[in-house]
Structure 1
Amino acid sequence: MRFFGASDDEYEVEEEERLRLGLAATLILGALDSRLTRQVHRHRAYLTRPELMPDPRIDTPWQRLWQSQNDRAFITTMGIDVGTFRYLLESGFTRIWTTTAIPRTDTDPTGRPRLGRRSLDAAGALGLYLHYLNSTMFEKTLQEVFALVPGTTNRYLKFARRALLTTLRSIPEGKVKFPEVHEFHELSKLIQKRHPLLNGAFGSIDGLNIATQTSDDPAIENATYNGWLHDHFTSCVIVFSTRVSTHPVAGMTRR
């Protein structure tokens, strides 16, 4: 609309200002609409009980794997053999799983655990967390393998992590310590065989990138993204010994 008495220059300025305001409003509305659309899609990107196996304890891919008791299959999917898996269960993981209530906002954290209501037993919980550690699979794939809905998967992963950490802190194989004097000399000789000029060292490090599952948390996703390799990796790995010794449990080794 052009006002009576307004000059051509004033009219052009008014028109330009209206165009700028209109463009800004369009951009803002477009951004809000895009954000709402992403949120809707994000909330729909999960599996519900009808899309999963009916019972997490019967005939799931995990149950087939557990019943096989096959070292190759265990190492392929979880990074450890059957003997080591059972050793972790017997060293405290089963006790923690069966005697501790899984934290929830609507339950008493000091109450008695309701084992009959849990979707997984101790072996299933340990298997779930080891699958999570040893693979870059998406969480929805974990839900399919173990027949768990998203909320249960997240709770079990957090609780199994605490249980496994407590278990590892209680066994000799889970401790990191400086070698004894005789061990130091033995390890130093091994280092010098590979690096003759490196004298007085009992360990060495080398570049290692372990593929890591993409996190939904932007901060974690950014921390694990390797721009050079164009993928997500964990590179902070500590190797505390160069010697390999056989544990009494079949197949368990320490490096």
Structure 2
Amino acid sequence: MGNLIDTLLSHLALEEDEYWDEENNRLQNAGLSGTAIYLEAQENRQHHSENRKRLYLIQNELLPNPREGTPWQHLHSSSSDRGFIMTMGIDVSTFEYLLQSGFALLWNTTPIPRPDQPMTAPPRVNSRSLDPAGGLGLILHYLNLTMRDVSLMEIFALIPSTVNRYLDFCLDILLSVLRQIPKGVIRWLEGDEFQENNSLIVARHPLLMGAFGTMDGLNLPVQESPDQEIENATFNGWLHEHFVSSVIAFGATGM
């Protein structure tokens, strides 16, 4: 009986040793897998960082003076409606209208937000890389064309940090201008103007009483954003591309 118990205890001890050997091997393998995952993540992070370094230009690779001899300066001095419309979506007179309707004033009187300076500091207009027209041209190029930031760097001869800071600044002051000019206001038709538009619609579609215009959607293609929230907001699952979607209302007269 004693020998049988000893034999069973030996078997149990052997099985326990085998169990812990397997457990140690599993933990060791898990540790090695975790190390491999960590090293792979570090390698991917380094690769991503190196790729980001290739996506911008440094000062020595750009034209020396953003205010002289740049593609933007040449386009601006040409005063070509065709060139302005193709690159910025508006003609020369509209560009000047926006500039004189408050954009230039805000550019010259508002300090550009910087982490190393308080917003109460006076704006250093003479030390800026662009004048008011250049700032408006930069933001209109950005809004109208689906281009990489590196293209803006080449056109305006600006380094990446300056491009990003100017884009944020110009978006804010352009929005302020559009909110205060009469042509930037969105309003519904009233009175005689409404009746004129409704008569045009009824003449073609007799059953559409009370209508004054039409609405249509517009998908503007945009570059995929590295920000996950923006990327999700602009992705169109039906078209499998990234867009900013707008709704545009037209009066029956075409306005």
Q: TM-score range by the shorter chain?
A: 0.7 to 0.9
Unaligned runs of 5+ in 1: 245-254
Change (3 A) 1:93 1:14: closer
- Indicate the residue corresponding to 2:40 in structure 1: 30
CA 1:139–1:242 in structure 2 vs 1: closer, same or farther (change >3 Å)? farther
Counterpart amino acid of 1:73? G
Aligned pairs for 1:214-233 within 5 A: 214-233=224-243
Residues 20-169 of structure 1 aligned to structure 2 (within 5 Å): 20-43=30-53, 45-169=55-179
Deviation at 1:43, TM superposition (A): 4.7
Query: Structure 2 length as normaliser, TM-score?
Result: 0.85
Match of 1:15 among 6, 11, 25: 25
User: Post-superposition shift, 1:164?
Assistant: 1.2
Task: Please name the residue that 2:194 is paired with.
Answer: 184
TM-aligned CA distance change 1:28 to 1:112, over 3 Å: closer
Q: Secondary structure at the match of 1:116?
A: helix
- Aligned to 1:23, the other structure's residue is in SS state helix
Question: In structure 2, what is the equivalent of residue 203 of structure 1?
Answer: 213
Q: Distance in 2 between matches of 1:42 and 1:195?
A: 56
Aligned counterpart, 1:247:
none
Quickly say closer, same or farther: Cα 1:113–1:13, change in 2 above 3 A. Answer: closer
One-letter amino acid of the structure 2 residue matched with residue 145 of structure 1: I
SS of the equivalent of 2:76 reads: helix
How far does the alpha carbon of each residue in 1:97-128 deviate from its partner, in whole angstroms, 9 at most, with x for none? 11222121222322322221111111110000
- 1:146-191 Cα offsets, whole Å, 9 max, x none, are 1111111111111111221121122110111121211112222344
Matching residue's letter, 1:218: Q
Q: How far apart, CA to CA, are the structure 2 residues paired with 1:78 and 1:121?
A: 17
Q: RCO higher in 1 or 2 (8 Å CA, sep ≥ 6)?
A: 1
User: What secondary structure does 1:45 align onto?
Assistant: coil
5+ long unaligned stretches in structure 2: 1-12
Give the equivalent residue in structure 2 for 1:251: none
Alpha-carbon shift at residue 40 of structure 1 (Å): 4.1
Secondary structure at 2:243 match in 1: strand
Cα distance between partner residues in 2 of 1:6 and 1:32: 42
Q: Is the 8 A contact 2:139 2:171 kept in 1?
A: yes
CA RMSD of aligned residues (A): 2.2
Larger radius of gyration: 2
Give the structure with the larger helix fraction. 2
Distance in structure 1 (CA, Å) of the matches to 2:63 and 2:204: 52
Separation in 2 of the partners of 1:32 and 1:44?
19
Q: For 1:6 and 1:196, how far apart are their aligned partners in 2?
A: 94
- Contact 2:82–2:91, Cα closer than 8 Å, also in 1: yes
